[in-house]
Structure 1
Amino acid sequence: MKILGKLFGSDSRVKILRLFLFNPDGVFENAEVASRARVYSSTARREIALLSRVGLIKRKYFYREVVRKSPSRFVAKRKRVAGWTLNEKFYYLGALQSFLLGATPLRENDVAKRLERVGRLKLVIIAGAFLQDFNSRVDLLIVGDSIKKLVLENAIKNIEAELGKELRYAVFSTSDFEYRLNVYDKLIRDVLDYPHQKVVNRLNLSKT
């Protein structure tokens, strides 16, 4: 990410660029951009203004359900809000997508380091978005014990912010994973039988 940050001006800009490029049909309010990219609100507003000026993103209005409390009950109402979406007519869109989506900001060791505090990890496999295989059922498979749920969720959000995409991930205890492996569980086979990389492999799982 540091190299891309230098090329594009800042790490924050790269995160926000990837958010829009990875989610071409998405519409995001300023606050959601800041939350998903894990940057300050002021930074998100500044980068959104810049990307809007150059024409990469455009304003789009959409309806969001808002729940409000009345004296006796909760009432759901649809509210028209302004957001931002990718401008599919941006002249350099194809070149930018090819470069940024192909330049994975996290290396194998980076992923392992982000997850090292979540518990006693036995196996971590990256696939899907990490390898530009967007048809994969799972982007990240984690096997371990004493997994700390909140620490894991925070680590996943940090990884998602750098990738610009919500991750599809699965977490198993060691015993559960070994059972599923032995009975040829479909999800496990869908990960192991297709492109993937093992970034932690304390189970000494073979390449097949």
Structure 2
Amino acid sequence: MARKQTAKNRRKRHKKVSKKDARSHRRPKKKPRVSSKTRQSSPKQSLPMLEALLGSPARARILRFLYRHPDAAYNLKTLSKILLLKTPSVARECLALARLGILKSRSGGSRKTYQVSAAFPFSGELRAISVHSHALSSAQILSELSKKIHPKLVVISGSFLNIPGSPTDLFVVADRVSEKQLASAMKQFEAQLGTELRWSAFNTNEFIYRWKMFDRFLKSIFESTHEILLGKVPK
């Protein structure tokens, strides 16, 4: 009886070992290949405060511009051209703002003009939000510039930071500077900020030379309040 039990136990152990060996001889699973083209999706850029508050980028752009020029009246065609918006969109938003009492309209000849209304109860508060809220993020500025040139140094000041009296609003250094391409980018920035911008651009060699010569213009930029979005200044 003892022998039979021993033999039975041996068979059980043999079966267990056989299953273990079988598992050990299985081919290991290959790790999935990660394609070199696969990239992490960049986080979505949140809307600036005024755009998020109004729920309409076009409406925010119109208000920001008109509150920066409160004494002037503009027709739809002029607003569309300055703000780089389609005329039907401008007409729809201006009509909605006029119905709310934020804008006032005036018909002159065949064209209707719009301007901000001082009679609106919260005109002061809305103007403060429109003018002082940042319309462009650092990522948006760099993205737009990178479409036109390959900047090495990008510095913002003045209207980008709501600081009056700065020597320039945007300063750019690149190996190749195309004034035409930069002017196109600045037009986009002006449409979103609602004001004219001053900008300066140097190629890399000119910037290094002027920096070593303690150029007055460069000194005025970096001694005033500014923000470096890309690159570093020489020591």
TM-score by length of 1: 0.79
| 1:171–1:61 distance in 2 versus 1, CA, 3 Å | farther
**Correspondence 1:1-208 to 2 at 5 A:** 2=47, 4-59=50-105, 83-201=113-231, 204-205=232-233
Query: Any idea what the Cα deviations from partners look like across 1:150-188, whole Å, max 9, x if unmatched?
Result: 332222122222212221111222222223323333332
Quick one: structure 1 residues 86 and 188, their matched pair in 2 at CA, closer, same or farther if it must change by over 3 Å? Answer: farther
Report the CA distance shift for 1:178/1:20 in structure 2 as closer, same or farther (over 3 A).
same
Q: Which runs of 5+ in 1 are unaligned?
A: 63-78
Q: Percent identity?
A: 26
SS in 2 for 1:2: coil
- Report the Cα distance in structure 2 between the residues aligned to 1:117 and 1:163, rounded to whole angstroms: 19
Partner-residue secondary structure (3-state), 1:117: helix
Q: What is the one-letter code of the residue matched to 2:225?
A: P
Deviations along 1:63-88, one digit per CA (max 9) or x if unpaired, are xxxxxxxxxxxxxxxx9976333333
User: Hey, what's the Cα distance between the residues in 2 that align with 1:47 and 1:110?
Assistant: 24
User: Using CA pairs below 8 Å that are at least 6 residues apart, which structure has the higher relative contact order?
Assistant: 1
Structure that is richer in strand per residue? 1
Q: 1:2 to 1:189 in 2, by over 3 A?
A: same
3-state SS of paired residue (1:116): helix
CA contact (8 A) 1:29 1:82 kept: yes
* Paired residues, number: 189
**Does the Cα contact within 8 Å between 2:153 and 2:173 map onto a contact in 1?**
yes
How far apart are 1:134 and its partner, in Å?
A: 2.0
Alpha-carbon distance in structure 1 between the residues aligned to 2:70 and 2:163: 17
Which residues of structure 2 form unaligned runs of 5+? 1-45
Q: CA RMSD in A?
A: 2.6
Whichever structure has more helix as a proportion of its residues is: 2
What TM-score, normalized to structure 2? 0.70
Contact 1:118 1:149 in 2 (8 A): no
Using the TM superposition, name which of 117-126 and 52-61 deviates more. 52-61
